[in-house]
Each structure stands twice: as structure tokens, then as C-alpha cells.
């Protein structure tokens, strides 16, 4: 099935640093979502974006829905050790009823003290 391209694939950063990751698609979506997955668990929703150009924050997290509707980025400011995990973007094209998600390839984040 289709996957969205995420970059970087992995990153090692020091505590306190800011992190940026992005996601691109060849097709448009009308919803972009960012999830975090810890080992052996299901993904947890971090931020949802519903409108092209939208910039939304959730604590230290900020995400934007690209104007072209084909990309999105996620920023994490002042990283802490518990930010470790895998971050996935997901696109959704939903004409009114529940519809499927297409996930990105994931960005593995490791934070060192």
C-alpha cells in the first residue's frame, strides 16, 4: 500500500535541542495527523490538522499543514528524554465518514542527556 515519505528516518539529539521532521505525499489529504509510538504500544495522537496552512501547537509540539496539502512538518522544542520514540505522520482524505489513514515511514527519535 501507499506510504508517505518521512524524513529524517532517525535522529539522535541532545536534551534541550529542538527537533524538526517532515512528511511528504504524492497525493493530497484534507487531514494531517502526527502520532508517537512507544515500543510495543499503539500510536498516540499528538496533533491533528484539518486545514491547509494551519499551524497548531500542543505544548512543546508544533505542526503545520502544508499549503499544497501534500506535506506537513512537526517541530518539538526543548526535547526531553521522554520524547524518545517513533513519530509517524498520517494523511486522511475523508469525505464525511470515517476513512482510512495512510501512515508515513516514521522518524525514530533518540534523546541523549
Partner 1 sequence: GAVVSQHPSWVICKSGTSVKIECRSLDFQATTMFWYRQFPKQSLMLMATSNEGSKATYEQGVEKDKFLINHASLTLSTLTVTSAHPEDSSFYICSASRANTNNEQFFGPGTRLTVL
Binding site for partner 1 (CB under 8 A): 1, 3, 31, 35, 40-45, 48, 50, 88, 92, 94, 97-106
Q: In angstroms, what is the minimal distance from the CB of 86 to partner 1? A: 9
Angle at 33 between CA 43 and CA 56, to 5 degrees: 120
Cell 510495543: give the residue: 40
CA distance 30 to 108: 25
Q: In angstroms, what is the minimal distance from the CB of 101 to partner 1? A: 6
Of residues 15 and 100, the one with the C-beta less far from partner 1:
100
Lookup: cell for 1: 500500500
CA distance 61 to 47: 8
Of residues 2 and 14, the one with the C-beta less far from partner 1:
2
Q: In angstroms, what is the minimal distance from the CB of 16 to partner 1? A: 27
Of residues 58 and 100, the one with the C-beta less far from partner 1:
100
Of residues 77 and 108, the one with the C-beta less far from partner 1:
108
Close Cβ partners of 79 (under 8 Å, ≥ 6 residues apart)? 13, 14, 15, 16, 17, 18, 19, 60, 109, 111
Q: In angstroms, what is the minimal distance from the CB of 42 to partner 1? A: 4
Amino acid at each position: 500500500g501507499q506510504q508517505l515519505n518521512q524524513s529524517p528516518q532517525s535522529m539522535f539529539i541532545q536534551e534541550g535541542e529542538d527537533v524538526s521532521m517532515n512528511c511528504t505525499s504524492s497525493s493530497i489529504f484534507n487531514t494531517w495527523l502526527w502520532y508517537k509510538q512507544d515500543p510495543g504500544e499503539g500510536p498516540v495522537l499528538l496533533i491533528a490538522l484539518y486545514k491547509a496552512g494551519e499551524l497548531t501547537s500542543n505544548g512543546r509540539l508544533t505542526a503545520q499543514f502544508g499549503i499544497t496539502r501534500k506535506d506537513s512538518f512537526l517541530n518539538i522544542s526543548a526535547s526531553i528524554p521522554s520524547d524518545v520514540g517513533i513519530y509517524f505522520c498520517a494523511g486522511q482524505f475523508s469525505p464525511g465518514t470515517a476513512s482510512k489513514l495512510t501512515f508515513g515511514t516514521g522518524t525514530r527519535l533518540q534523546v541523549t542527556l
